[in-house]
Amino acid sequence: MRHTMLPLLIAFAATSLRANASEPPIHEPNAFIGSFRMEIHLFKNGKEEEHSPLNMRYWSTSDKLLYEMVLPGEQQRMRMLTDLRDNHAYTLVDQGDGGRVAMRMKRPGIPVKEESTSEKPKITMTRETRVIEGQTCTKVIAESEEGIWTGWVAMGLKSAFFDMARGMDEQSAQKFKHVGSGITGFPLEYEWVPTTGDERVICTVKDLKPGPVDEKLFDLSGYQVMDMPSFGIPQR
């Protein structure tokens, strides 16, 4: 279940894109169209970590994604834009002196398929429900040898998580799609507790607004666009 939480941070943890023998990226439109804020709380040894919570803002159209990560106490915001039509990802940097740079990288494709050894989690759909952000959510528990994922899932919404993973790395997206295949809907709140270690993650979606977003958010006018090479990211 490691890949269940990875899509929340993939775009910001990866400083470059994988480059290896691969098939072309999948040109499916984004499943979720709209915007939201994801509040991410990180715990270790039973205490919330110093740099927690993280806040991620997300906007999407059918073919574009924009992420913005806000770190506690940090003025600078990290933003990444993915354009599925032109098949590029952009790291957007505000230089502070009025200058703005968009570092453009080619998105990788899907590596040549290998035999999957991932364990499919045991999915338990409970009868418990809660209303989160105006959406009726069902409690879902996913268990695997890696840990336990407990989420509140809005069954009436399409999930943004696969889109989020695909925004930077098609391989991660495909892995997430496989692992999360037993869960339908959009998790608006969840807790991830790994089997080993003393860490815990709680994520909550806030300011949820399904539907069209302002196209101006994705406008690169005023940015100096720089082409960057794609570097390999070690795979586990």
pLDDT, tens digit, for every residue of 70-81?
Answer: 777 766 667 899
Domain span including residue 79: 2-227
Q: Is there a domain that residue 232 lies in?
A: no
How many folded domains does the chain comprise? 1
Q: Is residue 151 part of a domain?
A: yes
pLDDT per residue over 164-211, tens digit each? 776 655 554 444 444 455 678 999 999 989 888 888 999 999 999 999
Cα dihedral 172, 159, 189, 4 in deg (nearest 10): -20
Q: Is 64 in contact with 82 (CB distance < 8 Å)?
A: yes
In a domain, 233, yes or no: no
How is residue 148 written in tokens?
A: 């336990």
Q: Which two tokens stand for residue 10?
A: 């993939």
User: Over the chain, what is the mean pLDDT?
Assistant: 78
The structure's pTM equals 0.78
User: CB of 5 within 8 A of CB of 201?
Assistant: yes
In a domain, residue 200? The reply is yes
Q: What is the CATH number of the domain that holds 86?
A: 2.50.20.10
In a domain? residue 75: yes
